[in-house]
Structure 1
Amino acid sequence: MDSQNSSRSCKNLFIAVVLITGFSAIFYMYYEPSVNWLNCPVAPKHDDDCRNICINALNRTNQIQIVNDNCSVNFTSVQHQLTQTEAASSQGDDLDTIILVWMWPFGQQFDLGLCSSMYDIHGCHLTVDKSQFNKAHGVLIHHRDIHGDLSNMPKLPRPPFQKWVWMNMESPTHTARHSNLNNLFNLTSSYRLDSDILVPYGRILENTGGKKDYEIPRKNKLVCWIVSNWNPNFRRSKFYGEFEKHISVQTYGNHFNKRIGDQDYTDVMSSCKFYLSFENSIHKDYITEKLYRPLSLGTVPVVIGPPRANYEEFIPASAFIHVDDFKTPKELADHLKLLDQNDNLYRQHFTWREHFFAKGGSFGLEHACYSCDHIRRNKNYRVVNDLNSWFWG
């Protein structure tokens, strides 16, 4: 009896297995699988929609074949987009930092794509497209172009990650003071050494090729001065009035009705033994192109500006002559005449050129690129609470 029951059970089990197998075969032959549970429609209305759906599906295990069979988009394209998305996610901070130049400084446009080639600063995207405001990591705003009522400043709410950069290269004497700028900016960019983003009017850079013999340009003039902005109350105007009584000075510029062009400037400057690098106002760190351009062209600058110690924070001590080192304009004139007669003494003012060279700055572009680099490297919160006291004192 037990033997018969056992035989019957085995027979029933075999029949059940055959039926299940047959049913499964018929089911998979005629059943059209639905992928609604993947949220990927069989016939999507828009390829872009399906592409996004398929990318989501690809992130799930074992979904590649189902997606490939049911999405009406090219699988290779989908897989490429997924790879790009994953790469962007993994790069994080390597994505471009966006700097919006809110207004061209003094209306002077510059090439927005030179950060990497000129300053070896990478991963920056400079733009003047104000529709990018909400995406911009930093907004560069030139002080001299700000309306007193702030009517030309950004009106949209500032994104929490965004930093506003105050840019200015004029001295406090020639910069209008706006009382409503406190707590408005996050960073400062100027010639001041204590700026968040220092951009001097020029730089002394090392000769990367090592020590070099410097050949001083041929000279046929003793002292030169180019000036257009003349104000009899400026210190430089008063000093010049006494100085010219004791030495011959070749003068150029609008004030002397002898304007010169860029090429003439280079020729004239390099032909002068000394140049009067007189600033129009005296302020800490305010050392302009009036110093760096003569240095770059092989002329010794004679300076009026902040104290000698401040100059020496920017350039070698032997590279220039400071009027404050002499008691009177006559003493300075006599010293320059001595150097004119003594070639060895004169050449001592060029010993720094064996190891360094002078380079002028690039107005606007340099601020934008270095602002980008600073914001890219510094993610901390920052605000300039009292801009007025810091800059104007």
Structure 2
Amino acid sequence: MRVRPASVYRYVLLGIGAFLSIYMVYSIIGYDDGSHVPIHRPQRHLYLTVSQDRVGMRFGNLAPKRILYWTTVFGATVPSTMLSDCPGLTDRCVIDTNRHQINSADAVVFHAADLSRFPLPITRKPNQVFVFNSMETPDNSGRFAVPDSFFNWTSTHLYSSDAVHKYGSFMIPTQIAESRGFKVQSYYIQPKRLQKSKNGIFGLISNCHTPSKRELALQELGKHINVTIGGKCASDDRLKSICPPGVECLDVFEQYPFFIAIENTVCNDYVTEKIWSRLTVPSIPIVMRRRVYKNILPPNSFIAMDDYKNPIEMANHLRALESNTTAYSEYFGWRQKGTWTSAPWNSPGYRNGVCRVCELLWKTKDNETETDKSYENIWEWFDKESQCEKDEFVRSWLSG
């Protein structure tokens, strides 16, 4: 078969044209002048690899938000991987600890207890968000003075914060979890584990003199029901060493029908590992004030001291529960029926701490979040919202 020269030339020219087109497209996408935001891991999004001049005005809407930690957190530098457990947000924000980069930060976080160790910024750029951060109560947060209206957002244990930063997970009805497509976490326990080898209340306590005067309440309660204290505040050496440092000792807690989960300081929404690290223990937690827990834990899953007039009334009820398996089991109904679960960690709608800060930064561009608001006096706000108690309740309870 004879091939015409004109056809050969036509195919050669078409091939050359296709090659030049591909090369031009590759050159545009692959160009990098060093002006993009540095992310030190394999990139998965085009906006992280295309330089600013190539995308023009869209760059500000696509580039990751920068969150600068101006202070340390209890003396420790925040790791750059802090967002690694924020599903869906790991490439939406970056963590920075270089204070010289403050002008490029979208949000600047100040950990309250570390504020006194660092000079405050002299200037701030427009629309830059200053975030007040503390997981602890006001009296354990340093109380360092700052100028009025210095902070725009709050990130604390309080549910009224802009970005809640709490210990533990969010407990939600299983029906809500299923409606959101969450994997349901089961807290079911074998009924035989409700049969206890010991009676009364057990607690590991290392702070023997608390603002809430927890120790006085337990001392009086111990006159009417067995109260076993382990740890530094124990009465004998065997109990002082019953749980080695760094060990949760859940098996010890499980031996008793009740365990102490009273905080050193009683404040709104302040619930620590005293509850969260023992959520799987098949025993009933004893707390001080119902108002603190009623919107955080499943209904009928704990016993509050202020449900009783005095220690004698409470001890009588606890002893009655010990001798009535059916009544005792009712406190575990939420587990056995599976009516409550925990939201997956940092899932949408239940973000915690810096994950929520990152999420809020992206909402600002759609005018869903205020950046120009401020807290005139951050400590007045913190005190008012926390409603922390001293020993008022215990004093009245003991005299009731």
Q: TM-score, normalised by structure 2?
A: 0.69
**Matched letter for residue 136 of structure 1:** A
SS in 1 for 2:257: strand
User: Could you tell me how far apart the structure 2 residues matched to 1:246 and 1:360 are?
Assistant: 41
1:361-380 to 2 correspondences below 5 Å: 366-379=352-365, 380=370
**Matched letter for residue 246 of structure 1:** H
SS in 2 for 1:166: strand
Matching residue within 302, 308, 312 for 1:330: 312
Contact 2:66 2:105 in 1 (8 A): yes
Relative to total residues, which structure has the larger helix share, 1 or 2? 1
Query: What is the CA-CA distance between 1:249 and the residue it aligns to?
Result: 2.2
Residue 389 of structure 1 corresponds to 380
Contact 2:261 2:287 in 1 (8 A): yes
Query: What is the CA-CA distance between 1:372 and the residue it aligns to?
Result: 1.5
**Matched letter for residue 80 of structure 1:** G
1:259-270 to 2 correspondences below 5 Å: 260-270=244-254
Matching residue within 110, 124, 130 for 1:158: 124
Contact 1:144 1:175 in 2 (8 A): yes
- CA 1:79/1:370 → structure 2, altered by over 3 Å: closer, same or farther? closer
Query: What is the CA-CA distance between 1:261 and the residue it aligns to?
Result: 2.9
Residue 351 in structure 1 maps to residue 333 in structure 2: yes
- CA 1:146/1:90 → structure 2, altered by over 3 Å: closer, same or farther? closer
Matching residue within 258, 269, 272 for 1:288: 272
Residue 299 of structure 2 corresponds to 317
Where do 5+ consecutive residues of structure 1 fail to align? 1-64
Query: What is the CA-CA distance between 1:391 and the residue it aligns to?
Result: 1.5
1:33-84, Cα deviation, whole Å (9 max, x unpaired): xxxxxxxxxxxxxxxxxxxxxxxxxxxxxxxx9xx9xxxx998435532892
- CA radius of gyration, larger in: 1
Residue 224 in structure 1 maps to residue 191 in structure 2: no
Contact 1:191 1:285 in 2 (8 A): yes
**Matched letter for residue 200 of structure 1:** K
Residue 204 in structure 1 maps to residue 181 in structure 2: no
Q: TM-score, normalised by structure 1?
A: 0.70
SS in 2 for 1:319: coil
User: Could you tell me how far apart the structure 2 residues matched to 1:371 and 1:201 are?
Assistant: 16
Contact 2:258 2:283 in 1 (8 A): yes
**Matched letter for residue 242 of structure 1:** E
SS in 2 for 1:180: coil
Residue 254 of structure 1 corresponds to 232
SS in 1 for 2:158: coil
User: Could you tell me how far apart the structure 2 residues matched to 1:263 and 1:376 are?
Assistant: 40
Matching residue within 102, 105, 117 for 1:136: 105
Matching residue within 233, 238, 241 for 2:216: 238
SS in 1 for 2:331: helix
User: Could you tell me how far apart the structure 2 residues matched to 1:88 and 1:319 are?
Assistant: 56
- CA 1:233/1:169 → structure 2, altered by over 3 Å: closer, same or farther? closer
More deviation, 254-263/191-200: 254-263
1:12-46, Cα deviation, whole Å (9 max, x unpaired): xxxxxxxxxxxxxxxxxxxxxxxxxxxxxxxxxxx
User: Could you tell me how far apart the structure 2 residues matched to 1:79 and 1:121 are?
Assistant: 24
Contact 2:298 2:340 in 1 (8 A): no
SS in 2 for 1:146: helix
1:273-312, Cα deviation, whole Å (9 max, x unpaired): 211111222323333332333334333211014xx24421
User: Could you tell me how far apart the structure 2 residues matched to 1:266 and 1:88 are?
Assistant: 57
**Matched letter for residue 213 of structure 2:** R
Query: What is the CA-CA distance between 1:181 and the residue it aligns to?
Result: 4.2
Contact 1:99 1:140 in 2 (8 A): yes
1:247-268, Cα deviation, whole Å (9 max, x unpaired): 2222222222335333343333
Alignment RMSD: 3.3
User: Could you tell me how far apart the structure 2 residues matched to 1:79 and 1:378 are?
Assistant: 29
User: Could you tell me how far apart the structure 2 residues matched to 1:301 and 1:324 are?
Assistant: 14
Query: What is the CA-CA distance between 1:119 and the residue it aligns to?
Result: 4.6
Contact 2:305 2:314 in 1 (8 A): yes
Query: What is the CA-CA distance between 1:185 and the residue it aligns to?
Result: 1.1
- CA 1:181/1:231 → structure 2, altered by over 3 Å: closer, same or farther? farther
Residue 81 of structure 1 corresponds to 31
Q: Identical aligned pairs, as a percentage? A: 25
Residue 105 in structure 1 maps to residue 99 in structure 2: no
User: Could you tell me how far apart the structure 1 residues matched to 2:77 and 2:326 are?
Assistant: 45
More deviation, 257-266/234-243: 257-266
User: Could you tell me how far apart the structure 2 residues matched to 1:243 and 1:249 are?
Assistant: 7
**Matched letter for residue 215 of structure 1:** I
Where do 5+ consecutive residues of structure 2 fail to align? 1-16, 33-45, 235-239, 385-400
Residue 40 of structure 2 corresponds to none
Contact 2:184 2:342 in 1 (8 A): no
Residue 144 of structure 2 corresponds to 178
Query: What is the CA-CA distance between 1:156 and the residue it aligns to?
Result: 4.7
**Matched letter for residue 126 of structure 1:** I
Give the aligned length: 316
